[in-house]
Amino acid sequence: MLQKLDKYMKPLIRPFVYKWAITQEFTIKQQLDCGVRYCDLRIAHRPNDPSTDLYFYHGVYTTLTVETILMEIKEWLDAHPKEVVILSFSHFLGLNQELHIWLLTTIRNIFTSKLCPKMEELTLRNLWALGYQVIVSYEHNISSSHSDLWPHIPYWWANKCKAEALIEEFEERKQHGRPGGFFVTGINLTEDLKYICTHPTESLKDLVMSTYPALLTWVREQTPGSRVGSLNIIAGDFITERHFAPTIVTLNEKLLKWPS
């Protein structure tokens, strides 16, 4: 509804949309410095744009292009040769087959030998030995015919605007076991129209900050690994706040305490 109103009442609606669309405030290099190793990249091509420029989209388009951001990630990886990132490309708003090919060419031209092909024995030790630093997940059927594109990584999204409801949803899912391989638990709170209209002076960041104490308390109770009920990748909004990344990294210490 807000997006439709934006077409006719842009000066009034756009600031409103903007404050609920922004999910991160730091640059990509700052996020990587803070400990981020998984990026949810939602790709879009602007309507009526004759160029091949692609942008990120979450209610509004970014001003920086996808190519610019990927170059910044590559430069950061050059300076940190033992770090590995997972880039999850999805949504592809307005992309045709030609733009998909252009995007794949861009990814390969930027990351070259850093791209990790689909492989069974995926350990940091192997990645370091082979010089791989980038795992590309591509949510499109085109990924099945390319050895350097990993399939879509399942994303647990609760679609809740309250921390308690989100936690309850994930605890229910954990009872049925975790997916095999990579999967994401997104502790992203999702505002609905009712919430936005009843909190007109707030923003998505206000919502996230008010619930992070409860969410991160729940995160601290989780365990990584392959066991039933274990989590894998944890994603969230405004991850540079409230010790988000250190809290998740600390979970790995639990693996060292388990008997082999």
* pLDDT score for 53: 98
Beta-strand runs (E) in the chain: 38-44, 55-57, 61-65, 85-93, 134-138, 155-157, 184-186, 233-235
* pLDDT score for 241: 82
What distance in Å separates the CA atoms of residue 190 and residue 124, rounded to the nearest whole number? 34
* pLDDT score for 63: 94
Check: CB of residue 194 under 8 Å from CB of residue 221.
no
* pLDDT score for 148: 97
pLDDT of the chain, 260 residues: tens digit per residue: 766 776 777 777 777 778 889 999 999 999 999 999 999 999 999 999 999 999 999 988 999 999 999 999 999 999 999 999 999 999 999 999 999 999 999 999 999 999 999 998 899 999 999 999 999 999 999 999 999 999 999 999 999 999 999 999 999 999 998 998 999 999 999 988 788 888 888 999 999 999 999 999 999 999 998 888 999 999 999 998 878 999 999 999 998 876 54
Is residue 85 packed enough to be buried (19+ CB in 10 Å), middle (13-18) or exposed (0-12)?
Answer: buried
Q: Could you please report the per-residue DSSP string of 85-154?
A: EEEEEEEEET--HHHHHHHHHHHHHHHGGGBPPP-S---HHHHHHHT--EEEEE-SGGGGG-TT-BPPPP
How many Cα atoms sit within 13 Å of 142 on the Cβ side? Answer: 18
* pLDDT score for 3: 66
